Amino acid sequence: MAKVGWGTPPLISVSLGVIIEIPGNIAILGVIKVALPTEDEAILLLQVNFAGAIEFDKRRLYFFASLYHSRVLTITIAGELGLLVAFGDQPDFVLSVGGFHPAFKPPPLPFP
Question: pLDDT, tens digit, for every residue of 14-36?
Answer: 999 999 998 889 999 999 999 99
Cα pseudo-dihedral 14, 73, 42, 70, rounded to 10? -20
- Residue 38 is predicted with a pLDDT of 82
- Residue 14 is predicted with a pLDDT of 95
- Residue closest to 51 by CA, chosen among 94, 5, 110: 110
pLDDT band at 7 (very low <50, low <70, confident <90, very high): confident
- Residue 99 is predicted with a pLDDT of 85
- Residue 23 is predicted with a pLDDT of 85
- Residue 106 is predicted with a pLDDT of 86
Cis peptide before 9 (omega within 30 of 0): yes
* pTM for the model: 0.84
- Residue closest to 30 by CA, chosen among 19, 46, 53, 14: 14
Mind listing the pLDDT tens digit for each residue in 34-73?
999 888 888 999 999 999 999 998 899 999 999 999 999 9
